Amino acid sequence: MLGKPNKRGRRMKICKVLAVAILFSLSLTQAESQEKAFNLGEVIVTATKTEHTLADVPAEAVVITKEEIKAKNIKTVQDALTYLTGIKINKNCGSWGDKGKIEMLGLDA
């Protein structure tokens, strides 16, 4: 009985080795992805499908700067919108998985 390992013991050893290998590869992947961060540069979003300067935009436009995002610890677009005038966010007002409803100047967005 001592000379032959049973199937269950062998499976446990294999599972442990695989678990360690998976954890090791995940940690390497995470470290690698943190090193490869890059800057997107300036992102311009327009509703007119053409590029304009901020002064020439035919509608109200609000710019949220990188400094404001860092100072207010903004993590999502929803977080950013909560600081804007005329925008109301109703959190958890929908069905399963719904993050909320956004209203702009009283109209559904």
Q: What is the pLDDT of residue 36?
A: 64
- Identify the band that residue 98 occupies on the pLDDT scale cut at 50, 70 and 90: low
Give this prediction's pTM: 0.41
Over residues 90-100, mean pLDDT: 65
- Sequence-ordered alpha helix ranges (H) in the chain: 7-35, 66-71, 77-81
Looking at residue 71, its amino acid is: A
Which of the 8 DSSP states describes residue 94? S
45-80 per-position pLDDT tens digit: 666 777 777 777 667 778 888 899 899 998 888 888
5-29 per-position pLDDT tens digit: 577 778 888 888 888 888 777 776 6
Q: What is the pLDDT of residue 71?
A: 93
Exposure pattern of 46-82 as b/e (b: 16+ CB <10 Å)? eeeeeeeeeeeeeeeeeeeeeeeeeeeebeeeeebbe
